[in-house]
Amino acid sequence: MKNGQAQRPSTANPKILSLFNLMCFFLFFGSGLAIGLTVSFYLQDFSFNIQLKQFSTPIPTTNRTEKSSRIGLKEYVKPPNVIHDMKDAELLWRASMVPRVGEFPFKRVPKIAFLFLTRGSLPLAPLWEMFFRGHEALYSIYVHSDPSFNRTVPKSSVFYGRSIPSQEVQWGNFSMLEAERRLLANALLDISNHRFVLLSESCIPLFNFSTIYSYLMASTKSFIEAYDLPGPVGRARYDHRMKPIVTIGQWRKGSQWFEMDRGLAIEVISDRKYFAVFRECCEASCYADEHYLPTLVSIEFWRRNANRSLTWVDWSNGGAHPAGFWRRDVTVEFLQSLRTESHCQYNGNNTDICFLFARKFLPGTLNRLLRVAPKLMKFN
């Protein structure tokens, strides 16, 4: 009898109980469904294979839950789309993330990110097309041009679809520096980018891709020009309100065109301290793009810097702007002299190869460059 009584509750009202069970089941399944839907919408970018119609099957299968909770590393490390909706603050934050484990648990072929900061079109694009051809796995390209400029890039071009979301850039102004950081941050989102080169539309390569790739990948230092210059276009641009974060003795000038490795690039886009001081005290005629990077790197990261530029330029005529080169200037002798007639240090040794790029080549030089460069520089 005791047994019968004890079992009573479980058998007494089977109708109510099964109703209760049914409710529990729906409640449980319903919340599961809600969570599942939320997660699937939230993580759509990770291309999960959740099909909505699967949810109409009343009995959940273990297979589905297993599938939907698995993210492969491949999804995580694949290069993101060049076009995104991130604001600058969001982009810089995302790009500043660093894995603390030094070794990659997958095969990573390091790439060079070529960052082009341009006013309008890239008149020398055909030369660059030739330069890049055949090395698709080893580079990535990012272009930041003025948004008012409508680029029509053919689908077959290496520049196709490589324009980053950009904002208006006033040349020689603070927005130029912001544009450089935006370019760097975009390139940092792709984990295979290992070295970063900032170039303008008037730059040309002086060597073939293979030579430039090995030079940069084996370099122990970054290439940011930094020097102390007395006078109106150097020290006179310093503002005493920058003290004590930047003193006049720490103030540096250099070319805005740089080359740096991934570690330094992350430090640069993560900097808030010096950037805030420059934003406050280095507007307009201060030319932040010529001073921010040389000053920051010389104060905080000078051990990692070779203190020289990889981009050759001719300042010999004096004045505010370097010499521009015309069609008739482009000769084999001239280009050859840029390639090898310098002396500098590379990884602690002397070398004759100091410049990998040169500027400023005007649009009219294109045809001659196309004729002379491939042979001289041994393009493939």
Interface with ligand NAG by CB under 6 A: which residues? 61-63, 148, 150, 170, 172-174, 208, 210-211, 226, 283-284, 298, 302, 305, 307, 347, 349, 378, 380
Q: Is the CB of 18 or the CB of 49 nearer to ligand NAG? A: 49
Residues in CB range of 361: below 8 A, 6 or more apart:
124, 202, 203, 204, 324, 325, 330, 369
Q: Is the CB of 38 or the CB of 61 nearer to ligand NAG? A: 61
Residues in CB range of 308: below 8 A, 6 or more apart:
223, 225, 344, 354
The string of DSSP letters for 133-164 reads: TT-GGGEEEEEEE-TTS-----TTSTTTT-BP
Q: Is the bond into 378 cis (omega within 30 degrees of 0)? A: no
HSE (side-chain half, CA atoms, 13 Å) at 25 = 9
β-pairing verdict for 349-351 and 311-312: unpaired
Give min distance, CB of 335 to ligand NAG, in A. 12
Structure tokens at 325: 């080169």
Q: Is the CB of 91 or the CB of 212 nearer to ligand NAG? A: 212
Give min distance, CB of 243 to ligand NAG, in A. 18
Q: Is the CB of 95 or the CB of 282 nearer to ligand NAG? A: 282
Give min distance, CB of 172 to ligand NAG, in A. 6
Helix, coil or strand: residue 109: coil
Give min distance, CB of 326 to ligand NAG, in A. 26
Give min distance, CB of 342 to ligand NAG, in A. 16
Q: Is the CB of 96 or the CB of 342 nearer to ligand NAG? A: 342
